[in-house]
Amino acid sequence: MKNIEARELVAPPEGSAGAGRRTEQTLGRKGNRTRRRLMAAGLKLLSTRSAVSLTAAAIAREAETSSATFYVYFDDVGELIFALALDATEDLDNVFATLDNWVAGQSAEEGANAFVEAYRDYWDKHRPILLLRNMEADRGDQRFQVMRSSAGALILRPLASLIKEGHADEALTDEQALARAAVIFAAIERMAAAETIYLDEHPMPSINAIKQAQVSVLASLVEPMGMIKRQKKPRAARR
């Protein structure tokens, strides 16, 4: 959990859009500021319009520069969207911090609550671009699939370790623990992505009720019925 290198996302395929040809490492300070200004303009426009209608000219206008300047930094709008998605996907430090604290010894309830809260905050912060990332991944774009799956793996591994440790009496295999982690994480991610869609639906549990349900299920996976079993009296002593 403390190994920073283990948390680096898998790089996109060489030669693909967003493969890092023009990045913070290859641009000077002025060039990087311009690139970031274009990205900020694109992100702002994505909050009010579909990515399908997003154009280089519109992004350049929003950034108060020219279309020619846009193409100095990006081959097309798709490359800019990939860069935005990569930025959002990598902004997981707060989520990782909750997992570190949990692994270090927090209770199941405290750890689950902190993780769910941090992950929901992460989605609230990056919702438009994460929705677009997942849509492109679902449509089969390998770059976005790699981005999403590698980020998810960095979360699944510590969750699976916590679940396996909590099920020591059952001797879960690594695969079984990972499968349980994948099921609960998929549910948490899906609800974080889609909860605003259901706000006007009735009857529908409140967002807070959904959050508490996620915390309860996740905590029970990490600190299962085995904890209760150990507190019960032996069968022969019960009446």
Tens-digit pLDDT profile for residues 110-166: 999 999 999 999 999 999 899 999 999 999 999 999 999 999 999 999 999 999 988
d(CA 145, CA 149) in angstroms, rounded, equals 6
Q: pTM, whole model, 2 decimals? A: 0.79
The hierarchical CATH code for the domain 18-84 is 1.10.357.10
Contacts of 156 (CB under 8 A, 6+ apart): 178, 181, 182, 185
Give me the residue spans of the domains in the chain: 18-84, 91-228
Q: Which residue has the tokens 């600190």?
A: 223
Indicate the fold that domain 91-228 takes in CATH: Tetracycline Repressor; domain 2 (1.10.357)
Q: Is the predicted pLDDT of residue 201 greater than 90, yes or no?
A: no
Helical spans, DSSP H, in the chain: 29-46, 56-62, 67-73, 77-90, 93-103, 108-138, 142-166, 174-194, 207-222, 225-231
Q: Does this chain's domain 18-84 share its CATH topology with 91-228?
A: yes
Categorize the per-residue pLDDT at 18 as very low, low, confident or very high, splitting at 50, 70 and 90.
Answer: very low
pLDDT digits (tens, 9 = 90+) for 22-38: 555 566 778 889 999 99
Q: Is the predicted pLDDT of residue 100 greater than 70, yes or no?
A: yes
Query: Which pLDDT score is estimated for 23?
Result: 58
**Spatial contact of 168 and 227, defined as CB atoms under 8 Å apart:** no
| Helix (H/G/I), strand (E/B), else coil: 199 | coil
d(CA 175, CA 69) in angstroms, rounded, equals 49
**Spatial contact of 83 and 16, defined as CB atoms under 8 Å apart:** no
Q: What percent of the chain has pLDDT over 70?
A: 78
Query: Which pLDDT score is estimated for 166?
Result: 86
Q: Is the predicted pLDDT of residue 218 greater than 70, yes or no?
A: yes
Query: Which pLDDT score is estimated for 239?
Result: 35
